[in-house]
Amino acid sequence: MSSIGDLSAGRLSRVSALKLYDFRNYGSLDLRFDKRFVVFAGPNGAGKTNLLEALSLLSPGRGMRRASYGEMMRQAGANAFSVRADLTLGDDMTSVLTGVKGEEDRPASRQVRIGETVVKSSDELLDLSRIVWLTPGMDGLFTGPAGDRRRFLDRMVLSIDPAHGRRAGDFERAMRSRNKLLSDNRNDDVWLSGIETQMAELAVAMVFARDQLVGHLERAIAMADIASPFPKAGLDLDHGLETSDLSAPAVEIEDRYRERLARNRMRDAYAGRTLEGPHRADLSVTHLAKAMPAGLSSTGEQKALLVGLIIAHARITSALSGMTPILLLDEIAAHLDAGRRASLFDLVAELGGQTFMTGTDASLFEALGERAQMVTITDGAARTGP
């Protein structure tokens, strides 16, 4: 395995073309990218974030806004949308087509085609690239609900352990079956025991995968330049289990959790949900230098902490997945002072991957010079150049 400091370990993945049909405020759009930095500049509401959202659909899940597919379809009578991209990994180029066709009375699900093959799960996109984003929607991450931090954590785990998404989905389904049996008062011991055994096995795999990721992140943060303007974050992971001691063998942790699930059926039936498990995990973040919870830091400090975390995540993704991630940074430049902005550009350049950024003020990106492709966005249309 490559070390986290070894950024050359990742194969470069990049998007060389993007075509949209009836996606958000775009009727039809055809863009080519030929630089490592791509900046989408334009006024408020022009469609800059929509482009990053389209790019985020080149990774598993519902994209960086977690919007419904109906919301992504162009509000002009469209009942379908598609996003097509040419993705290059190392020397191999593949086309990816993803989209949704609306159907009466049925929530649309998205199809993904890689080359000529319609794939079973969007998780297969992880064979082609890793995509890491930072958006204004993540501003409340340290103070908001634990579910947001769990999702943030699980996306990071997924980037180095693609099986994590399936495990988490299977756990969620098993837990819902248990909750339903308990709330229907169907105390079928054989059935419940079978479900709880499955839950315990999946839970322990999830817990260890999350723990490993946090360990890697901590090491990457510790290695970050002391002079960096992005403060170091301290991480504390609550696994959602009664004990956070993972020193015992995995089978023992699994057995104990399974026993507690069986013992606590009545309690959970009253609560109407399973009260213990990895679905209740939380990641606490502290501002290390100030020895203070990140949630008490100023808005600017929280943003800087987040940037530090994302850079650490990108570094470990590159070293451990073997792919240099594509970064999507929405409205970051405007929120950083000139010094931090220059440092961000340097850190991103050092990562070596392709980076897409947005901003209303193109001049904030002048320091990138020839390294950046400037794309001007106006009202659902785009053209390369200022």
Ligand X SMILES: Nc1ncnc2c1ncn2[C@@H]1O[C@H](COP(=O)(O)OP(=O)(O)OP(=O)(O)O)[C@@H](O)[C@H]1O
Q: How far is the CB of 336 from ligand X (least distance, A)?
A: 16
Amino acid of residue 290: K
Applying CB under 6 A, among 4, 36, 38, 50 the residue interacting with ligand X is: 50
Any binding-site annotation on 179?
no
Any binding-site annotation on 169?
no
Quick check: helix, strand or coil at residue 114? strand
11-23 vs 26-32, strand pairing mode: antiparallel
Q: How far is the CB of 269 from ligand X (least distance, A)?
A: 42
Any binding-site annotation on 47?
yes
| Distance between CA atoms of residues 319 and 327, nearest Å | 15
Query: According to the binding rule CB under 6 A, does residue 25 interact with ligand X?
Result: yes
- The phi and psi torsions of 325 (rounded to 5 degrees) equal -70, 155
Query: According to the binding rule CB under 6 A, does residue 340 interact with ligand X?
Result: no
- Strand order through the sheet with 292-293: 233-238, 282-287, 292-293
| Distance between CA atoms of residues 279 and 203, nearest Å | 9
Query: According to the binding rule CB under 6 A, does residue 110 interact with ligand X?
Result: no
Q: Are 313 and 132 in contact (CB under 8 A)?
A: yes
Q: How far is the CB of 366 from ligand X (least distance, A)?
A: 19
Query: According to the binding rule CB under 6 A, does residue 47 interact with ligand X?
Result: yes
Query: According to the binding rule CB under 6 A, does residue 74 interact with ligand X?
Result: yes
Amino acid of residue 99: G
What share of residues in the chain are helix, strand, coil (percent, to 5)?
45, 25, 30
Q: How far is the CB of 48 from ligand X (least distance, A)?
A: 4
Q: Which is nearer to ligand X, 72 or 209 (CB)?
A: 72
Q: Which is nearer to ligand X, 75 or 143 (CB)?
A: 75
Query: According to the binding rule CB under 6 A, does residue 360 interact with ligand X?
Result: yes
Q: Are 121 and 137 in contact (CB under 8 A)?
A: no
Any binding-site annotation on 187?
no
Any binding-site annotation on 180?
no
| Distance between CA atoms of residues 323 and 386, nearest Å | 31
Applying CB under 6 A, among 3, 8, 28, 75 the residue interacting with ligand X is: 75
Query: According to the binding rule CB under 6 A, does residue 68 interact with ligand X?
Result: no
Angle at 251 between CA 249 and CA 256, to 5 degrees: 100
Chain residues binding ligand X by CB under 6 A are: 24-25, 42, 44-50, 71, 73-75, 358, 360
- Known binding-site residues equal 42-49
- Known binding-site residues for ATP equal 42-49
